[in-house]
Amino acid sequence: MNLPNKLTMLRIILIPVFMVVLYWGFPGAHYVALAIFIVASFPDMLDGKIARKYTLVTDFGKFADPLADKMLVTAAMPWFVEIDQMPAGAPHIFLFRLVESRTLCLLFGSVRPFFLIVTHWIVFFNIPEQI
């Protein structure tokens, strides 16, 4: 397993830690959970750059990296709904858009130029999720 894949696995492993800390309820738990979320989000920038720069791109990385992004953001959503900082329907819209974007990539992925256009638009629309 190469370094980018290890970074992706670290992000996936930090998701349950983030959730436990978030719901634990000790004083300052929200700040610790925020720190974990930031630590889990930071390698997202690194793993892709490292994989492309050193030609370490793998099929696992292509699959797991976007999955880790979605898992992290989706894990935080129920808490925001619970504290009334997000409408209850927002996670449903997010999941619908996730399925729709993945379906477009799978349907048109064999046509390389269209796949690149779809991929860039999906990346553009995913930026606000982690902000």
Side chain identity, residue 53: K
Tell me how many degrees the CA angle 60-9-19 measures, rounded to the nearest 5: 130
Neighbour-count burial of 7, counting CB atoms closer than 10 A to its CB (0-12 exposed, 13-18 middle, 19+ buried): buried
Asked whether 131 and 69 are in contact (CB, 8 A), the reply is: no
* Nearest-5° Cα angle at 126, 10 to 86: 90
Render pLDDT for 38-97 as a digit per residue (tens, 0 to 9). Answer: 999 888 888 888 988 998 888 888 888 888 888 888 888 888 888 887 788 887 777 777
Burial of residue 78 (CB within 10 Å: 0-12, 13-18, 19+) is: middle
Percent above pLDDT 90 for the chain: 24
Q: Which residue has the higher pLDDT, 117 or 78?
A: 78
Six-digit token pair at 44? 């997202």
Residue 8 CB neighbours (<10 A) = 26
| pLDDT score at 108 | 57
